[in-house]
Structure 1
Amino acid sequence: MKCRVCGVEIVDKGDMRHCGYCQATFHTGCIREHLYRHKNCPVCKRETTLFRMVRGEPHPYKVTRFLPREVRKPEWSDREMDIEVPFFDTDSRKAPPSYRELAPRFTIVDGRPLRVEYEQVGLLRRFSHNKKGMIGVAMLTAAVIMAVFSSYLVLHDPIRYLVEDSAFVNHPPTWEFPLGTDVLGRDVYSQIIWGFRNAVLISFPSAGAIGLLGTLIGLVAGYYGGAVDMVLQRISVTFLLFPSIPFVALIVHSWGPTEINLALIIGVSICLWPTAARAIRAEVKSLKTRTFIEAAQVSGAGPTRIIFKHILPNVQHLTFLYMTIGVAFALSLEATVNFLGLGNVNVLTWGQMLSFTFVATKRTMTWWTILPPGLAIAYMVLGAFLISEGIRDVVGRSTFRL
């Protein structure tokens, strides 16, 4: 858009003002200098002040309503467009931004009438064009596939199979054993593939519990406020004080090492849901003052409908963000706990592989018993990190492009 005073293209949107009557755009400095001398809009000539010059870009509907009808709603030939053009009307402005599936983009080319091109602005649509996020999704999808089909991908039994020839015990990679063998003669490759099962069984339920608890408590605390908010905040602060590793160790000591997976899921959920709840609570308190929430309250909608139909779609990106962080946190905690020897020896995990190598070889570890489980842990954590970075990039981008 160009300034109607100096005729220069307005690059900085923060330095833009538009007339509340005719929607003409100006530089802030240009319109300030003009109003100091003339006291009226340079385009529509109506008497106005700088305070009536609205900051930012004009609304698309307000731009088009002053144009002739044949320009606002032109008749297109079948050759130019096979379907009817859906124009931006007043009804679509009444819906919250999260429910608006399409956003208009107005262009004028070679003096032709004002046309409207539509682009999808949903969270999933924008996320599908984010390279980092899609790489993370592909990495975790591959991990889930390997976990589901691990029984078909392993070459030998990862726990019970032992090599018959003692020369292949703690042996470097060969054609028969692509990643070598450990000190007991077990195939490292088969152990890595089998470890994806336990990684998925721990990380995904932990992420789901974090998203469920953090979202529900954050929504209730942010919307109701007052005593409810104060009580829930005190509870979340209390859980934030729990150290993750000693807390999981206490649960394992009480229940036994056979319940290590359940202990890890509970430990990760309890240690991370307060952070998600506090972030969602802050976002809900900001959304509660928006116009579409006030309109829903005036129309007679109850708290439950407002929370789940109007507020929840606008905070779901935070839910997914902390769920991906929970995946990385659960994998790191699982590796740490098993490396310390607190896990179940009958359940094969990557952290247990590192711990067994460190103890059995008396600190003379070989690279083929350290590098594969370490890279497997880094692979899962990196996938979750890329998804969280993709969500941050998508949410930070502007929804509309005019």
Structure 2
Amino acid sequence: MDPLQLVGSELSPYTGKVRAYLRYKGIQFDPVQSSHEIHEKILKPNVGWKVVPVIITPDGKYVQDSTEIIHYLEKLHPLPSIYPQTPCQRIVSMLLELYADEWLVLPIMHYRWSFKENLPLINQEFGSTVFPKETAAVQRERAKMAMAYFSSMLPVLGINKDSISEIERGYLELLDNLSKHFEVYPFLLGFKPCIADFAMHGMLYAHLYRDPYPGYIMKQRAPLVCAWIEKMNQFTKDRLMYTHSIRDGKIILDQLNRNQQDFLPDDQIPQTLFPILETIFQNQAPEILDNCNILRIYLKDHPDAKRLPRILGTHRFKIGQTISTRGSMTYPIWMLQSISDYYYSLPGKMRLTVDKFLDKFEGAKEFVGVDLDTCRVQRINNFVCPEQIRKQSKL
């Protein structure tokens, strides 16, 4: 049987997330560069829009969205699991995935598109990826259109003269916090990667490690983060961590004990992650909760809506000590909903354990335990839709 195909791009952070996952799981795959021809003749007709990453299974199924792809594959390849089975670690892994996928968009897009030092590489890679059969001169010229599209997204994302200083401060702070963490642990929750490792790796690798200007910053300021990225990107070994001894003149692989190849015991959350969690609850959480309120109003005004726009106008948001403006997005609500659904699925004692942990952070319990009954969403045919559409379809 043919391997599944991963349609994506080295420039895409979400492709990096899925590719690292596939390598970690040992799932055979054929990497496919997302050319203009593939977008027009394959992705748009079968997925509904031109987007990566997409996996195409051997039986012809198309799965789009990095989180959805991993959910799909995790059911087929459950071991080793990337989702902790203990409640606090599970919640934290999902929160960090949400943070990586949705909040780190701010620094990755700023550092890619605001510095001219990156443009020769980006131009060459956009051109050769999207138009591989054209001459180099034609590739460079056509790439300018794609580059103009992505750079035009900065205001919608909230990247502007008011927010840039806080975006940069927050990113450097993240590098410092991750450096302190990786001095102690090889992965975010201990000795094997969780879903958040793959999400954060994709965002940091594709833009901030590879692009020249931010890549220089990372290599100078956070070499341990670079080493973690390189480890996440390869996963070509059967063992994630290994040491050897000499016995009878031969090199012998040492056996690791279970605590050296699993998440931390007893549902521990490393304190080195607390500053990142603080950022989530102080900055990202209020922004997403405001998106929920905007969606509630939209659904009330559009009771027959079958598909939701990706952006519902603009709204004010806080980043660090600055108030700025960005698009109000619907997709993060779908990710938050998974977190709150898991939280409410926990039996009483386990939920109390999570509550005790969340009490360490202002606004954490209100975010994780948010009532989404009046703004629930689902993904149907690769688009975010009001959840009642599914209920109606069962009648």
Q: If the length of structure 1 is used for normalisation, what is the TM-score? A: 0.19
Q: Considering fraction of residues, name the structure with more strand.
A: 2
Larger-Rg structure? 1
Tell me the TM-score normalised to structure 2 length: 0.19
